[in-house]
Amino acid sequence: MKHLSLVLLLIAVTCLTGAGQSPAGTLKIFSDAPLVVYVDEVHYPRYGEIELVPGTHYVKAINSDGARVYSNIVEVKTGEVTSVLIEAPAAQPAVSQPPVSGAGVTYGQAGQGTEAGQPANQGTLSENVAASQPDAKPLQPTIDIGQTDGSLPADMGGAFGLTFGMDAGSVDRIMSKKAARSQKNSGYNVYAIPNGSAVYVVECRFIDQKLFQIIVGYPSVYTNKSKLKLDKKEVPFPEFNRIVNDVTANYGEPATAEKIFLGGYTEDDGQILEALKRKKALFLYTWTDPGTGNNIMVGLGYTSAPLGAAIYTSGPLGAEAQTRKLKLNGYDYKKSFKDNYFSN
């Protein structure tokens, strides 16, 4: 996923957390079960430590079944920590992790011959899972990957209210309203979007000024002296798992689910961070709409830092990009996703 730009993220982080901020207090939420937490109706995926403006705030927590388990007003004071313990029975998640036979797939080399933006041909893998329940709706989104009204298009035709084929100007008008910072480049735009106390990146790519690919990237970040920084030592497994769960909730089980390890690394050797940094590991799940050819890839890899990402691609326009051997932001569309990833 080296082709996803994180330069704008660093710019946005500086902008969002620069000097001269108002005094803040800290809200810490503790729970023995996963929660979806909102403060003043803003979703905070990382709720272990939330910096807030001093005063009263409305806190709401929802469990993985979509049931509200906490709803209250809390007071946050300047320079102090307010702790909230939410005791709730661990609910069964609305969507389980996609079933994969065995602990993972280990390859001797990167996959070959697949189309850019298209799922790899996994006909020989026992890990293949048939797609099911394509019209399933998530009970409760747990991460922002572009859902509108809590869901994604049934035909995988876009995200964030964008549809493939939309002109670049219309895309920018929609996305700029959501972004703290945006950057226009030749053939692609990048948007840094606030996410509670953090930020994530959306990259929109165009062919002939028409939208054909949307990339949503979640790196790990941390706070240092009131500034957000990329965390190169933390693998964003929670974000990656939430993305997989939410895409599965919309479209059913993935067509393929791969855990690729090269160079002698394995899933259980305790060296996943090192393997990701050296481009010797990649987690990759794929979904395809049979009617349109539109597809989604959800990956866990490494760019400037470990990154969980959802990649939405138009079937027809993605094929056009491949035919033209398009190159955008270091990505060569005549090659497969895995060939691009492991060769960078």
Task: Give me the CATH number covering residue 42.
Answer: 2.60.40.1120
224 and 294, same structural domain? yes
Residue 21 above 60 pLDDT? no
Choose the final residue of a domain: 69, 86, 103. Answer: 86
221 lies in the same domain as 195: yes
Number of domains in the chain: 2
Do residue 121 and residue 47 come from a single domain? no
- Quote the pLDDT of residue 89: 55
Quick one: what percent of the chain has pLDDT higher than 90? 42
> Residue 135: inside a domain, yes or no?
yes
17 within domain boundaries: no
- Residue pair 226/25 in contact by the 8 Å Cβ criterion: no
Mean pLDDT of the chain: 78
Res 88: pLDDT: 59
- The answer to whether residue 108 scores a pLDDT higher than 70 is no
pLDDT at 225: 64
Is the same domain home to 60 and 191?
Answer: no
Q: Specify whether 122 is located in the same domain as 30.
A: no
More confident residue, 290 or 140: 290
Same-domain check for residues 298 and 242: yes
Residue that is last in its domain, among 86, 107, 137 = 86
Identify the pLDDT of residue 52.
87
Distance between terminal CA atoms of the chain? 9
Statement to judge: residues 178 and 313 lie in one domain? yes
Q: Are residues 115 and 68 in the same domain?
A: no
Based on the domain organization, do 241 and 332 belong to the same domain? yes
Confidence of residue 317 (pLDDT cuts 50, 70, 90): very high
Q: Which of 39, 66, 86 is the last residue of a domain?
A: 86
Helices (H), the chain: 7-16, 168-176, 237-251, 272-277, 315-323, 337-343
Instruction: Evaluate if pTM is beyond 0.85.
Output: no
Q: Give the model confidence (pLDDT) of 35-88 as tens digits.
A: 888 887 777 877 888 988 888 888 988 887 667 888 888 888 888 999 999 975
pLDDT level of residue 22 (50, 70, 90 thresholds):
low
194 and 314, same domain (yes or no):
yes
Residue 229 lies in a domain: yes
67-71, 124-128, 184-188, 288-292: segment of lowest average pLDDT: 124-128
Phi-psi region at 103: left, alpha or beta (left = phi > 0; alpha = psi -120 to 50): alpha
How far apart CA 127 and CA 100 sit, in angstroms, is 5
Q: What is the DSSP letter of 84?
A: E
Q: Is residue 7 a part of any domain in this protein? A: no
> Which is more confidently placed, 226 or 242?
242
On the question of pLDDT at 322 being above 90, the answer is yes
Residue 28 predicted with pLDDT over 60: yes
C-alpha–C-alpha distance, residues 66 and 62, integer Å: 6
Flag whether pLDDT at 113 surpasses 50: no
30 shares a domain with 175? no
Are 69 and 115 part of one and the same domain? no
- pLDDT of 15 > 80? The answer is no
CB atoms under 10 Å from CB of 23, counted, come to 9
50 belongs to a structural domain: yes
Domain that holds residue 252: 94-343
